[in-house]
A and B are shown apart, each in its own frame.
Chain A
Amino acid sequence: MGRALEAVAGFATNPSTTFTALTPSTGQSFTVRGTDITKGTWLLSSWAFNATAGELRIRSPRLHDFFSGIRNRVTANFVGSLYLDPTGDSYAQRLYAQDAITVELTGGAAEIDTATLLIGYEDLGGVAGRFIDAPTLMKIGLNVVTVEVTVTAVTTGLYGGAVAVNSSIDNLIANTDYAILGGFSDTRGDTCRITGVDFGNIGPGFPLEPSIRSFTSNWFLKLANSFGGAWIPVFNSANKTQTTIDVQTTGTGGTYIINLELVQLLPGQVPGGATGAAVQAGGGGAPTSAGQPH
């Protein structure tokens, strides 16, 4: 299964009252990637970070309509889910391969405003990212550990300041799989993204809203629960130097202390990863069984 999860972020400069098409971050596009059309591609969430209140409009002739589509009010300085909130039960919007989605934003007249679509691919050819579902996490999860990094965002509305997950504190156990539950920061930003070969170099992300830390701290677990699928990204610590965290935000930029909440997994349980035993056995003496309280 070629799973992939991509936080496609974009920005609009001085959109004011005019719906302005978002410029996607470098290397990204609001056109859905080419996929096997028999497998689902889903819009799992969307959010925006405006300094001034506005509207986020997502539309396509392939979706409900090209007139107004999915149009939601963006309140100023709050980066919560605007549609498809994975807090509990939710409903994903199906997307179509190669469909160019029009994403527009209104907002302030003298600022960069930003928005993000979180797109999940059930089978994206040539990617095969490593993801697990919630029951698997409950079965093979061992210990909780936090990764804390400092990211300096750029002021252009693009993703910037990428640092490796071990750049601040290098405490991950060698050759061990870790599931990313979510994360948070004490500073508001649009999106925090995690990129690495284990995710097929396509970055999953979550909204950086400090007032809902309890919500974003297990964002991916909530996605997996709400949409009933394997949407929890997994990476191996052997790839820690090449697994990076970056931030996309408005023209204010800023310094972000990001906490990623991870769960150490039993070795060799998630397919498609480093074997964890190329030279040294993985798991750091991990127990051979795991689980959650019953």
Chain B
Amino acid sequence: MNQQIERDFPPGHPGASDYDPESPEAIEWARKNVHPLGDRDFAVDHPKALDTAGNLNHLPVTAGVDPLNPHREAFTGRTPKQVAAIKTLSEAASKAAVESPVVQPVDAAMVNRLLDQKRTELNRDLLTPEEYQSVLRDYHAVRSSGVAAATEELKLTTEQQAISYVMSRGYQVDVATIIVQREGAEKILKSAGIVPG
């Protein structure tokens, strides 16, 4: 069995006892380790070093484009043949595609309540398009009746109208209430030229 030789320095290293500056190993060592121009950014032969043969530093790196295959479509990597075929298909599909339907704004909370009523009624969560449409059709009628009811509910009484008027003259609500009770709501409204609602 041959005995393994452990060298102090690799062949060509200036520190090696058999150093021969003209040997191929010494020339190669110098090429890799002696940099007369100063510190290098990358080691000799590194793929990104400017003096490495075949480096790719000149290739532009742009979003979605494979630098080694710039002929391929950005982001998808499709070949030109695939792109052409898909373009033809897409053009045909786009001509056949239809504009999105226009939908009217709705109150999401109210429509969702109505939809839940419908679901409970049908005992089924997923509604068909027709069932959806029936809810949306009814929505506008339901909403307008709701608004009318709310308007009626919010209508001020004669006394409230009078308090509101007195408050508009700068009195706090508790004082305005006392004034209205003392003077009478109708009298106050009449003097202000307001017709009781």
Contact = CB atoms under 8 A, between A and B. Distances in A.
Contacts of B116: 274-275, 278
Given A27-B103, A152-B90, A187-B75, A160 B98 contact: yes
Given A128-B110, A242-B129, A271-B109, A201 B103 contact: yes
Contacts of A174: 125-126
A255 B64 contact: no
Contacts of A160: 97-100
Interface in B103-146: 103-112, 115-116, 119-120, 123-127, 129, 132, 136, 143
Contact of B106 (A26, A127, A236): A127
Contact of A128 (B98, B108, B126, B132): B108
Interface in A1-39: 2, 4, 26-27
B64 A210 contact: yes
A278 B125 contact: yes
B126 A241 contact: yes
A238 B126 contact: yes
B64 A127 contact: no
B120 A278 contact: yes
Interface stretch (A64-72, A96-104, A132-140, A192-200): A192-200
A162 interface: yes
B109 A128 contact: yes
Nearest to B123: A279
Nearest to A154: B97
A112 interface: no
A40 interface: no
A280 B125 contact: yes
B112 A272 contact: yes
B109 to A, nearest CB: 4
B197 interface: no
18 contacts: A4-B105, A126-B107, A128-B107, A129-B108, A154-B94, A158-B100, A162-B101, A174-B126, A199-B108, A200-B106, A210-B74, A210-B75, A241-B132, A253-B90, A253-B94, A255-B93, A278-B116, A278-B120
Nearest 9 Cβ contacts at the A-B interface:
A253-B94, A27-B102, A278-B119, A211-B63, A272-B109, A162-B100, A201-B103, A152-B97, A246-B100
Interface of A: 2, 4, 26-27, 124, 126-130, 152-156, 158-162, 174-175, 186-187, 193, 195, 197-202, 210-211, 236, 238-239, 241-242, 244, 246, 252-255, 271-275, 278-280
Interface of B: 63-64, 74-76, 86, 89-91, 93-112, 115-116, 119-120, 123-127, 129, 132, 136, 143
